[in-house]
Amino acid sequence: MNTLRFDGRVAIVTGAGGSFNLGRSHAHLLAARGAKVVVNDLGVGPGNQLEEPADAEAIAEEIRAAGGEAIANTNSVAEEGSAKEIIDLAIDTWGRLDILVNNAGYGSLAFFNEINTRDIERFVGVNLMGPIWMCRAAWPHMCEAGYGRIVNTTSGGMMGMPGMSLLAASKFGAYGLTRGLAVEGAEYGIKVNALSPGAATNSVEHSFTFTSQEILDNYVAGFPPKHVSAAIAYLTHESCKATGTMFAAGGGDVSARVVAATPTFHADDITPEDVAENIDAILNTDDLLVVTDPLHVQEPGGASPVMQYMVPKDYRPSTV
């Protein structure tokens, strides 16, 4: 197989300024394979704690020292105007934007009844609105070019883990964004995917301790960020075949995460009692119908088949 190269491509990687994080690894790999990279990071470190501040300029300098081309940016992704400035920097510097890796994230373990309002806002602002604002600013440039690759970072915590309800809510929102943009971007040559990473980074150690030093050492050795970056590189390459899909990568493993539907129960003039009496059949997972393709509105478990007969009306902005 030919080596996947990014010569002539321009990429933005958000949240890439940490000394030991995924974004740094993604930016280094894309640059090493020929991409010009905007290294973005607000600079506050994991969980917005300043004990381990990030430094976008330091990572950009690492890339340049290794023979690559990179510039640093410290804008926040969580505000519309600020996010647009990140996109504008790539366009103004290199005249194009081909790749957007929405890696910036906020994470902190907190139970729902203890998390404060400001941290709730950070979860939503960075993990959900960040990708929205970044994609919104990048979208017209990619549509005009007829090409684009976007990866939104999700999380295994979105499947349900103690202390991760807000993380799950924000990351599932990013996955929903991924599915919708995959549909809208298809006619423009834009492919949009999501990836749930598993890697030993400073953000993991910010939220977890390990039961022994040996286990920590094995985790660090077995789950380097570069294993996740390998999947990111494929998803951002022109040869990528997938769109609208969520992947998981870590420790050398790559898999797809899919939405599935159980076989449908139907009753004419259905009642609450019908649902109650058939709940075991409704929840039975023996014959799951996997929903993979967001471009196929009639796929089982996806959009209703009646959608093919429905014509969207023009957008009408709210007036109140």
Any domain includes 3: no
Flag whether 225 is in a domain.
yes
pLDDT at position 315 over 90: no
pLDDT at 294 over 90: no
Residue 319, in any domain of the structure: no
Which amino acid type is present at position 193?
A: N
Question: Quick one: which H or E segment has residue 183?
Answer: helix 165-185
Exposed/middle/buried for residue 105 (C-beta within 10 Å: 0-12, 13-18, 19+): buried
The reply to whether 264 and 251 lie within a common domain is no
Q: Note whether 108 and 144 are same-domain residues.
A: yes
Same domain for 135 and 250, yes or no, is yes
Q: What is the pLDDT of residue 108?
A: 80
Of 1-5, 10-14, 28-32, 127-131, the range with the lowest mean pLDDT is 1-5
Instruction: Let me know if residue 16 belongs to a domain.
Output: yes
Residue 299: both structure tokens together: 């796929």
Is 220 in the same domain as 279?
no
Q: Quote the tokens at residue 218.
A: 């094995």
Calculate mean pLDDT across residues 170-191: 96
Q: Is the pLDDT of residue 269 over 80?
A: yes
Interacting residues of 11 by C-beta distance below 8 A, sequence separation 6+: 27, 30, 35, 36, 37, 38, 98, 99, 100, 101, 236
Considering the entire predicted model, what is its pTM? 0.90
199 and 158 in a single domain? The answer is yes
Q: What is the predicted pLDDT for the residue at 307?
A: 60
Considering the chain, what percentage of its residues have pLDDT values greater than 90? 69
Q: 110 and 167 in contact (C-beta within 8 Å)? A: no
| 104 and 188, same domain (yes or no) | yes
**Which residue is listed with tokens 């599932």?**
172
Are 295 and 156 in a shared domain?
no
Whether residue 188 is found in the same domain as residue 79: yes
Q: Does residue 1 form part of some domain?
A: no
Average pLDDT of every residue of the chain: 90
Evaluate whether residue 249 is within a structural domain: yes
What is the Cα–Cα distance from 225 to 213, expressed in whole angstroms?
A: 19
Better-scored residue on pLDDT, 297 or 274: 274
Same domain, 17 and 101: yes
**298 and 187 in a common domain:** no
Q: How many domains, in total, are found in the chain?
A: 2
> Which range, 57-61, 207-211, 285-289, is most confident?
57-61
Domain membership flag for residue 43: yes
Q: In terms of residue numbers, what domain contains 67?
A: 10-257
Same domain, 110 and 154: yes
Computed on alpha carbons and rounded to an integer, the radius of gyration of the chain in Å comes to: 21
Collapsing DSSP states into helix, strand and coil, what is residue 36? strand
Residue 314 in domain:
no
Torsions phi, psi for 289 (to 5 deg): -105, 115
Residue 43, pLDDT > 70, answer yes
Residues 215, 87 share a domain: yes
* End position of a domain, from candidates 221, 241, 257: 257
User: At 184, which CATH number?
Assistant: 3.40.50.720
The reported pLDDT for the residue numbered 15 is 95
Residue 301 pLDDT exceeds 70: no
Q: Looking at the predicted structure, is the pLDDT value of residue 92 above 90?
A: yes
Using a pLDDT cut of 70, give the percent of the chain over it.
90
pLDDT given at position 140: 98
